[in-house]
Amino acid sequence: MLFLILFTSLLLGGAYALMAMGLTLQYGVARIMNLSIGETLVGAAFAAFWLQTQAQVGPLWGLLVITPAAFVLNWLIYRHLLTPLVRRAKNRGMLEVDSILATFGLLFILQGVMLALFGGNYYSYSYFSEPVELFGHTFALNRIVAFAVAAAVALALYLGLNRTRTGTAVRAVSVDPVAAGLVAIDVARTSALAFAIGGALTACGGALLSMFLTFNASMGVVFTTKALIIVIMGGVGDPRGAVIAALLLALAETTVATLVDPGLTLAATYGLFVLILLFRPQGIMGRRTA
């Protein structure tokens, strides 16, 4: 039973981690608290659904379309919707308030578009749904595939952030945007890049989740909540913290769903969140700020 819970949560946590890394890039680097991140995720799930059912392109191939499309879309959102807010913000607090309001509005626009296109029904599709026997337990192949892809993407992100010049520049902006300008980093451009990568990661997570979860047009807010909880748990701006917190959240959800009642997963999520806020408010990997 323990193994079943651990392994199930690991498989679920992979896609959560992508979304949380997406939000941590958008918030930690571009300083945008993106409340429409759940809609990005659900939008990608619908895109994967549409590609699979209408264009006969499976979600794995679909990722090659969905991820770059999300990158471009998020780049445009940052450039045209959010850059004016960045320019007029006198300080970080003001940008946070403005970006929360702006992306809260964006949430309803994206949700409205999806409701208009797909209605309020629940959707799912069958892909790699054959059972796989692992250590005496049965898992759906699609969950394993989704996890493997999520792990590969997370690893690529980690290497990109730590081993490349551009990736180091992204981290430098996250640490100190003023000092970043003083070493010739174009902070506006790098922030746009981080926001776009964040959106692409989230979309990638959404397409992967759609392989085994049922979704509808108005459930974005559930994922936004999860992403916020993961990022606050993990420590803002640290992708490693986001991964650990994503796995913890998946573990809490799976444990409660398996041992208590599936209806209580959201309660478990909040329970964990409150515990972290009480005992480690700076996050798992975060440090106390002076």
Partner 1 sequence: MLEIRDIAVHYGRHQALDKVALDVAKGEIVVILGANGAGKSTLLKTVAGLQAAVHGSTVTLDDHRLDGLPPHKVVEAGLALVPEGRGVFGELTVAENLAMGAYAQRARGDEARRLAQVLALFPKLAERRGQMVRTMSGGEQQMVAIGRALMSAPDILMLDEPSLGLSPLVCGELFDALEKVRDTGVGILLVEQNARRSLEMADRGYLLENGRIVGQGTAAALRDDENVRRAYLGAASAH
**Residue with token string 């490693």:** 240
Smallest distance from the beta carbon of 24 to partner 1, in angstroms? 14
In the bound state with partner 1, the residue whose beta carbon lies nearer, of 13 and 28, is: 28
HEC per residue, the chain: CHHHHHHHHHHHHHHHHHHHHHHHHHHHCCCCCCCCHHHHHHHHHHHHHHHHHHCCCCHHHHHHHHHHHHHHHHHHHHHHHHHHHHHHCCCHHHHHHHHHHHHHHHHHHHHHHHHHHHCCCCECCCCCCCEEEECCEEEEHHHHHHHHHHHHHHHHHHHHHHHCHHHHHHHHHHHCHHHHHHCCCCHHHHHHHHHHHHHHHHHHHHHHHCCCCCECCCCHHHHHHHHHHHHHHHCCCCHHHHHHHHHHHHHHHHHHHHHCCHHHHHHHHHHHHHHHHHHCCCCCCCCCCC
CB of 177 to partner 1, least distance (A): 10
Relative orientation angle of helices 2-28 and 187-209, to the nearest 10 degrees = 150
**Closest CB 27 distance from partner 1, rounded Å:** 16
Which residue number, 44 or 157, has a Cβ lying nearer to partner 1?
A: 157
Tell me the closest approach of the beta carbon of residue 259 to partner 1, in angstroms.
Answer: 39
C-beta closer to partner 1: residue 179 or 266:
179
**Which of 116, 184 has the CB closer to partner 1?**
184
The smaller minimum CB distance to partner 1, of residues 58 and 167, is found at: 167
Q: Shortest Cβ distance from residue 175 to partner 1 (Å)?
A: 5
**Tokens 């209580």 -> residue:** 264
Q: Which of 201, 218, 282 is nearest to 16 (CA)?
A: 201
For partner 1, give the closer residue by CB, 92 or 137. 92
CB closer to partner 1 out of 15 and 180? 180
Closest contact distance (angstroms) between CB of 192 and partner 1 is: 14
Binding residues for partner 1 (CB under 8 A): 165, 168-169, 171-172, 174-176, 178-187
Contact status, residue 7 vs residue 139, Cβ threshold 8 Å:
yes
Compare residues 116 and 178 and give the one whose CB is closer to partner 1. Answer: 178
Measured from the CB of residue 78, what is the shortest distance to partner 1 in angstroms? 17
Rounded least distance, CB 159 to partner 1, Å? 14
